[in-house]
Amino acid sequence: GAGVSQSPSNKVTEKGKDVELRCDPISGHTALYWYRQRLGQGLEFLIYFQGNSAPDKSGLPSDRFSAERTGESVSTLTIQRTQQEDSAVYLCASSPPSYEQFFGPGTRLTVL
Amino acid sequence: GEDVEQSLFLSVREGDSSVINCTYTDSSSTYLYWYKQEPGAGLQLLTYIFSNMDMKQDQRLTVLLNKKDKHLSLRIADTQTGDSAIYFCAFLVSGNTPLVFGKGTRLSVIA
């Protein structure tokens, strides 16, 4: 079956522009997570959605970052007024009611 | 919160065993994972172990957990060139919460 998909796979933008990154989770997965992976680093948690509960935004690095999720489907991560330090791979994962998270291929964001 | 340490690089010869180590600080983790990341790809779950286990074997992979020393390791037997990748340990405290990741160990396999 289809796994987690993300688009675009690569995004190059200019400093100060807004970007939107999209994640399509596996159908039926109740939980959805966004992580950021900077070059040579592990994954940093950004935000997660669990069913209809309020999202846990505790990992968002600044108020320029926001995310939405429509029901238990698509999620969009928005970064406003991008900065060079936002350059990273943004990974999305989804999870059924279990302990396994399934990751998408990521979006590589480069801010010039 | 959890603090996780991994060595950054490991180089082994094809056919040898690889051992990738991870140390952590928070003993409340319930599940401990190993993920593999190949260039340009997302993370692939290799294996995981429950915190009440000491060892888990899955084909060429062996996971060892030393709770006293807060040490987790992944042994890959008969390492192949296709095993070259970055390996991350990750920890989960309770279901459907974010994972805490180490920085990853880059495994290079020399033919």
Q: What is the DSSP string of chain B?
A: ---EEE-SEEEEETTS-EEEEEEES-TT-SEEEEEEE-TT--EEEEEEEETT-SEEEETTEEEEEETTTTEEEEEESS--GGG-EEEEEEEESSTTS--EE---EEEEEE-
Q: What's chain A's average pLDDT?
A: 92
How far apart CA B6 and CA A84 sit, in angstroms, is 27
Which of A107, A36, A41, A43 has its CA nearest to residue A65? A36
A77 and A23 Cβ atoms separated by less than 8 Å: yes
For the segment A3-38, what is each residue's pLDDT rounded down to a tens digit? 999 999 999 999 999 999 999 999 989 899 999 999
Check: CB of residue B21 under 8 Å from CB of residue B73: yes
pLDDT at res. B97? 78
Cβ atoms within 10 Å, residue A30: 17
Place of tokens 């709770």: B67
Q: Which residues of chain A have a Cβ shorter than 8 Å from any chain B Cβ?
A: 4, 30-31, 33, 35, 40-45, 48, 50, 56, 59, 91, 93, 95, 97-106
Cβ-Cβ contacts under 8 Å, A33 against chain B = 98-99
The answer to whether residue B94 neighbours chain A at the CB level (below 8 Å) is: no
Average pLDDT over residues A71-91: 95
Residue B41 has pLDDT above 90, yes or no: no
pLDDT band at A76 (very low <50, low <70, confident <90, very high): very high
